[in-house]
Amino acid sequence: MKKFIIFCLLALTACSLKEQSYTSVDKNNYLKNADEAETLLLGIYQAMCSDGIYKFHLSMLLTLPTDEAKVEGSSLVGFREQASNAYTSTDSYVQATWAALYTAIYRANDFIESLEPKMEDMSEADRERCRYYIAEARALRGLYYFELVRWFGNVPLIRSTAESYKLPTEFKQAAPEEVYSYIEADLKHAAEVLPWYDEDAVRANNSFRLSKGGVLGLLAKVYATWAGYPLQDRSKWALAAEAAGRVVNSGHHKLLGDYEDLWKNAANNVWAPEESLLEACFYAPQPNTASSGRIGKWNGANAALESIKGNYNQAVYKVQPMFLAGWKDHAADKRWALSFADYRYTKADGKTCLVSATIDGKKTDITFAMAMDTEYPGWRTDWRRTYAYMLTPAKWDIERYVEDSNQIADNNLSNVNWYVLRYADVLLLYAEALCESEGSVSAEALEAINRVRRRGFGEDQQTASATADLPEGMDFESFRQAVRDERSYELAFEGHRRQDLVRWGIYYETIMDTYLRSVDWHEVTPQYFIGALYTVKGKNELLPIPQHDIDLSGFKQNPGW
């Protein structure tokens, strides 16, 4: 996708709400046809791939402190502040995310405003294409506002480019409900205009582009978040179920047959639209900061210098051992072993275990299960110490999944894509929304979650399974917890967990419970789960409004900051 973007056309500064275009292109003489419009549209998609959005901050850095993960190390040096909830309102990473999202919104506003009046002079075929492009732009604007409102709370609502040029003191924070209503209108419009991905007769190439299923899935996620903390408008649960149900019952989307195929595809720029509803594409023919990403470098398996085709992986995104230890049914659930790496790569040995020990005179590779088993012969507490701070995600293992043809030689950048929204996510949202809106467990809700579980257990998705299926007759609370657990298993380390815990109103409690269980498991926990030491209830559910914009505009700061 990004191979065709002309960056100069929509290049913007990213310092505050007030954006300035430094393009030298005369827009009055551009956008004469649908081809030119498509080129500009792809610049709105490209915004997803900035550091402040899914390249780094909203995929890994700011989503990291949960019960699933923690940052590498035991001090607050550098990015560990952000990854441990120890930052302040002056933090440059927080400011960069705020600015990147408003830059993306400016691009969308500018595109829509510039294109709509030009469509009158186009051919009918070009006008039809441009209707799709405006729908895509509105859906992307809805996505960027969704990230703003759920991360920052009371944010300014900028509906046009003209509003971006107001004096700083003229900007006002909108109520979250107003922002959600604006998002809802954008997504509902896009859902009615865009076709299903496999019925698209207008766009010559819709690879990695939004279609009806992706927009409806995103709308379901918006409603589920609106229904949760802090707004808790439970009337939105029925709307979430309706939006998700349109996707589930459409017949256009399905889960891939093999869970591992997801990570093979992401590593090699393979688009599988039946499950990938929205994906940030980081393909580049060679390393470059504009297109290449960080996926697999920051959150992949640890790799020493020259151990992976001459490169290394920093791998500072670490898995919380208590999450793995508490994964229910992990012996049968194939996702468990595929989700974490209890191994690393070295120049001398290639792929090797984290811990080796001599037991009964024989060198033994100590697995995570062995480290948990205090009855294992020769068991030592330092095995747990190693696992406490060296486990990493495995979904983005570059050495394992990236083919040579897609390999780029860089220590910091990769070609690995990032899933923003998968069909499995929508199935689980559907099960949750049905349960929450009806106050009971329906057969339809049970089937939705069981389809995800069957695939995870390596079984046929359409056939009832005594091993994978949840039992019939579950009460409301048991099913609610089962859905929450299943979201953590299916979507582990994919950037959803923090916002899930926030909307469920249990973010602080879950982190502290994990911390206390970790202390019981190993005494080094205070050193290697430092996020628990800085997370505050009623504060860290939201990011701070950047101090820069408070000073300029007089905004009200979020609680606790």
pLDDT in tens, 140-195: 999 999 999 999 999 999 999 999 999 999 999 999 999 999 999 999 999 999 99
Cα dist. 187→40, 97, 231, 315, 447 in Å? Answer: 20, 22, 20, 36, 27
**Cα 134 to Cα 194: distance, rounded to the nearest angstrom:** 10
ω into 230 cis (within 30 of 0): yes
User: What is the pLDDT at residue 440?
Assistant: 96
User: Where are the strands (E) in 360-513, listed by range?
Assistant: 362-366, 392-393, 418-422
Token pair recorded at residue 93 = 């990473």
Answer yes or no: is 439 within a domain: no
For residue 374, what is the DSSP state? T
- One domain, residues 318 and 407: yes
Answer yes or no: is 163 within a domain: yes
> Which of the residues in the chain have pLDDT under 50?
1-24
Structural domain containing residue 329 = 303-416
The domain that contains 148 carries what CATH number?
1.25.40.890
Answer yes or no: is 202 within a domain: no
**Cα 419 to Cα 440: distance, rounded to the nearest angstrom:** 31
**Cα 219 to Cα 185: distance, rounded to the nearest angstrom:** 10
User: What is the pLDDT at residue 523?
Assistant: 80
Instruction: Using the Cα atoms of residue 429, residue 435, residue 437 and residue 442 in order, give the sign of their dihedral.
Output: positive
- One domain, residues 10 and 114: yes
User: What is the pLDDT at residue 27?
Assistant: 65
- One domain, residues 400 and 512: no
**Cα 174 to Cα 144: distance, rounded to the nearest angstrom:** 15
Token pair recorded at residue 210 = 């939004």
β-pairing, 311-313 vs 69-71, is unpaired
Picking from 394, 416, 438, the residue at the C-terminal end of a domain is 416
Answer yes or no: is 443 within a domain: no
β-pairing, 350-353 vs 343-346, is antiparallel
User: What is the pLDDT at residue 20?
Assistant: 39
Buried residues in 481-514 as b, exposed as e (16+ CB within 10 A):
ebbbebbbbbbbbbbbbbbbbbbbeebbebbeeb
**Cα 527 to Cα 4: distance, rounded to the nearest angstrom:** 46
Nearest to 67 by CA among 378, 273, 324, 308: 324
Within 24-123, residue ranges assigned H as helices are 34-46, 92-115
- One domain, residues 502 and 405: no
- One domain, residues 154 and 32: yes
**Cα 428 to Cα 453: distance, rounded to the nearest angstrom:** 10
Q: Residue type at 176?
A: P
Nearest to 341 by CA among 62, 69, 84, 527: 69
Collapsing DSSP to helix, strand or coil, 443 comes out as: helix
- One domain, residues 507 and 389: no
Taking the whole predicted model, whether its pTM rises above 0.75 is answered as yes
Collapsing DSSP to helix, strand or coil, 166 comes out as: coil
- One domain, residues 171 and 317: no
How many angstroms from the chain centroid is the CA of residue 16? 24
Nearest to 146 by CA among 197, 186, 106: 186
Give 257-311 pLDDT, tens digit per residue.
999 999 999 999 999 999 999 999 998 877 677 789 999 999 999 999 888 776 8
Within 249-298, residue ranges assigned H as helices are 261-267
User: What is the pLDDT at residue 404?
Assistant: 85
HSE-CB at 97 with a 13 A cutoff on CA atoms is 29
Nearest to 81 by CA among 56, 100, 64, 68: 64
- One domain, residues 389 and 523: no
Picking from 355, 385, 416, the residue at the C-terminal end of a domain is 416
Q: Is 128 left (phi over 0), alpha (psi -120 to 50) or beta?
A: alpha
Answer yes or no: is 226 within a domain: no
β-pairing, 340-341 vs 303-308, is unpaired
- One domain, residues 152 and 16: yes
How many angstroms from the chain centroid is the CA of residue 135? 22
User: What is the pLDDT at residue 310?
Assistant: 67
User: What is the pLDDT at residue 4?
Assistant: 27
Answer yes or no: is 360 within a domain: yes
Instruction: List CB contacts of 405: < 8 A, sequence separation 6 or more.
Output: 268
Picking from 416, 436, 464, the residue at the C-terminal end of a domain is 416
- One domain, residues 408 and 514: no
- One domain, residues 132 and 24: yes
- Contact call for residues 413 and 293 (beta carbons, < 8 A): yes
Instruction: List CB contacts of 477: < 8 A, sequence separation 6 or more.
Output: none
What angle in degrees, to the nearest 10, is found between the helix axes of 443-456 and 423-438? Answer: 150
Answer yes or no: is 546 within a domain: yes
HSE-CB at 194 with a 13 A cutoff on CA atoms is 26
Within 249-317, residue ranges assigned H as helices are 261-267
Domain count within the chain: 2
- One domain, residues 394 and 517: no
**Cα 233 to Cα 236: distance, rounded to the nearest angstrom:** 6
Answer yes or no: is 138 within a domain: yes
User: What is the pLDDT at residue 411?
Assistant: 86
Token pair recorded at residue 261 = 């195929």
Token pair recorded at residue 266 = 């992401």
CA dihedral 512, 485, 342, 376 (to 10 degrees): 80
